[in-house]
Amino acid sequence: MRDDQVNRSDPDIPASSMALGVRETMGDAESASVMQVSRQGVVFFVNSNMTRLLDLCREKIEGRPFEEFDTIPWAKGIVKLLVKKMRKHGRPFEITRHLIESESGASAYWRLAVFPREGGRFHVVVEEVTEFQKLRETFEKFVSREVIDLMLKTPERDFLIPARRVVTTLFGDLRGFTAFSATSDPARVQSLLSDFLGAMIAAAKAHRGTVDKVIGDGIMVLWGAPIESETHALDALRAAEAMQREHRHLMKEWALAGVTPPPLGIGVATGEAMVGNLGSGQFMSYTAIGHAVNVAARLCGKAEGGEVLVARDTADVALAQHERSGDGPPPLLKKAGEISVKGVAKPVNVARLVWSDEGEPGDES
């Protein structure tokens, strides 16, 4: 790395043990530069990557105080500060730097971390983490921290490359919102949308969903991508119920403020879809396309306010997943017959997710 790189960084010393979610064992990776330090602060091992990073042979590093090598151009003096924090709190600390080559404009992210070991020893690890950072920047607005951590534990996979996956898709939008927005003050519309979408996104993430997109007053959420899930249909129904409950609370608040609250309709379906970064050179986004995705969107359009329409095969999958997982009470569904939807040759067999206003599941029938 070169001294003429521009240092554009995150806050100097984030108090985070694994801010990028990289495995602590990353020192074993071929790309990592590793320094092992004794309790007394003396270097007793460096790998070949670290010798190249410091531009010194191993014999001139091992047996010397680590402070003598706290000279990385983009992090001078930082190792000593991180070690001080690590010893005080007993856990790893790190920094991540965004470096830009002044001549070529090439961009890269580098991470420097210290890890406590037994007997007061510690490891200093330096590694380029550009791909990890790109992954985080792509998905952090759409999925929970839990999902991102799972993704970062499988760095060999490129989650953006389109692939066929079995996913459960949820669409939700507000009934009559177009008419409401046409006759309402823009500031009030913006405030209502912010409340609504904030609650829906939180509910989706709380149930391990991936927020695919927000379109006006609508939301699209995936389960089973980017991380495969053995409870994708069950989680989607849990999220749908949570969304309706949260929206009912919002409607009460809006009514008290003198606003006629638009109700929420939701559609859910499961099936194989093409999932990944799709689009053109001008615009790319992570999304899913396929028959089941279209069915979920059509069921959302058919759902009444306050209703969750679920493709019958999704309901069956969710019940089977619940039986295997034993996670909480089973979702309760009522048969809703067959519904003809636009773009689908055969009528869709549908169930309706039910629950009571008091927060307890309703009676199945």
Give the domain CATH number at 206.
Answer: 3.30.70.1230
Measured in whole angstroms, the distance separating CA 231 from the mean position of its chain's CA atoms is 17
pLDDT class for 284, splitting at 50, 70, 90?
low
pLDDT class for 137, splitting at 50, 70, 90?
low
Segment 11-22, tens digit of pLDDT: 333 333 333 333
Considering the domain architecture, whether residues 90 and 214 belong to the same structural domain is answered as no
On whether residue 360 sits in a domain, the answer given is: no
On whether residue 303 sits in a domain, the answer given is: yes
Q: Which residue has the tokens 């240092």?
A: 7
The answer to whether residue 2 scores a pLDDT higher than 60 is no
**Which residues are 174's β-sheet partners?**
264
Q: What are the φ and ψ backbone dihedral angles of 152, each rounded to 5 degrees?
A: -75, -15
The one-character DSSP state at 87 is H
Considering the domain architecture, whether residues 55 and 94 belong to the same structural domain is answered as yes
- Taking the CA atoms of residue 192, residue 310, residue 289 and residue 178 in that order, the dihedral angle to the nearest 10 degrees is -30
* Residue 11 identity (one-letter amino acid): P
Under a CB-based contact definition with an 8 Å cutoff, are residues 331 and 237 in contact? yes
Q: CA dist 266 to 97, 236, 244, 311, 351, Å? A: 42, 11, 9, 11, 12
80-94, 143-157, 328-342, range with the lowest pLDDT: 143-157
356 vs 281 pLDDT, higher one: 281
In degrees, rounded to 5, the angle at the alpha carbon of residue 33 between the alpha carbons of residues 29 and 39 is 110
Q: Which of 73, 101, 135 is the last residue of a domain?
A: 135
On whether residue 286 sits in a domain, the answer given is: yes
On whether residue 247 sits in a domain, the answer given is: yes
Considering the domain architecture, whether residues 249 and 306 belong to the same structural domain is answered as yes
Under a CB-based contact definition with an 8 Å cutoff, are residues 229 and 235 in contact? yes
Number of H helices, E strands in the chain: 9, 14
Q: CA dist 22 to 112, 155, 188, Å? A: 11, 9, 43
pLDDT class for 241, splitting at 50, 70, 90?
very high
10-24, 140-154, 328-342, range with the lowest pLDDT: 10-24
Residues 178-200, mean pLDDT to the nearest whole number = 89
On whether residue 50 sits in a domain, the answer given is: yes
Considering the domain architecture, whether residues 117 and 36 belong to the same structural domain is answered as yes
pLDDT for position 97? 83
Considering the domain architecture, whether residues 181 and 104 belong to the same structural domain is answered as no
The answer to whether residue 104 scores a pLDDT higher than 80 is no
Considering the domain architecture, whether residues 92 and 226 belong to the same structural domain is answered as no
Considering the domain architecture, whether residues 105 and 198 belong to the same structural domain is answered as no
- Comparing C-alpha atoms, which of 77, 100, 60, 72 is closest to residue 13? 77
**What CATH number should be reported for the domain holding residue 29?**
3.30.450.20
Which H or E element spans position 291? helix 291-302
pLDDT for position 20? 33
The answer to whether residue 116 scores a pLDDT higher than 80 is yes
On whether residue 1 sits in a domain, the answer given is: no
pLDDT for position 27? 39
Which H or E element spans position 190? helix 186-206
In three-state secondary structure terms, 156 is coil
Q: How many CB atoms lie within 10 A of CB 117?
A: 12
Domain count of the fold of the chain: 2
On whether residue 154 sits in a domain, the answer given is: no
Preceding peptide of 226 cis, ω within 30°:
yes
pLDDT class for 151, splitting at 50, 70, 90?
low
- Comparing C-alpha atoms, which of 99, 108, 87, 93 is closest to residue 39? 87
Considering the domain architecture, whether residues 335 and 250 belong to the same structural domain is answered as yes
Residue numbers of the domain that contains 255: 160-353
Q: CA dist 87 to 79, 114, 121, Å? A: 12, 10, 10
Residues 114-139, mean pLDDT to the nearest whole number = 81
* Residue 230 identity (one-letter amino acid): E
Average pLDDT value for the chain: 82
pLDDT for position 168? 97
Considering the domain architecture, whether residues 113 and 231 belong to the same structural domain is answered as no
The answer to whether residue 118 scores a pLDDT higher than 50 is yes
- Comparing C-alpha atoms, which of 235, 243, 238 is closest to residue 219? 243
On whether residue 149 sits in a domain, the answer given is: no
The answer to whether residue 153 scores a pLDDT higher than 70 is no
The answer to whether residue 219 scores a pLDDT higher than 70 is yes
pLDDT class for 279, splitting at 50, 70, 90?
confident
Considering the domain architecture, whether residues 129 and 168 belong to the same structural domain is answered as no
Q: Which of 135, 150, 185 is the last residue of a domain?
A: 135
Considering the domain architecture, whether residues 81 and 173 belong to the same structural domain is answered as no
Segment 46-77, tens digit of pLDDT: 999 999 889 999 999 999 999 999 988 888 88
CA end-to-end distance (rounded Å), the chain: 67
Q: Which of 135, 168, 185 is the last residue of a domain?
A: 135
- SS3 of the chain: helix, strand, coil, percent, to 5: 35, 30, 35
Tokens of 156: 């060999």
Claim: this prediction has a pTM higher than 0.75: no
pLDDT class for 264, splitting at 50, 70, 90?
very high
Considering the domain architecture, whether residues 172 and 118 belong to the same structural domain is answered as no
In three-state secondary structure terms, 288 is strand
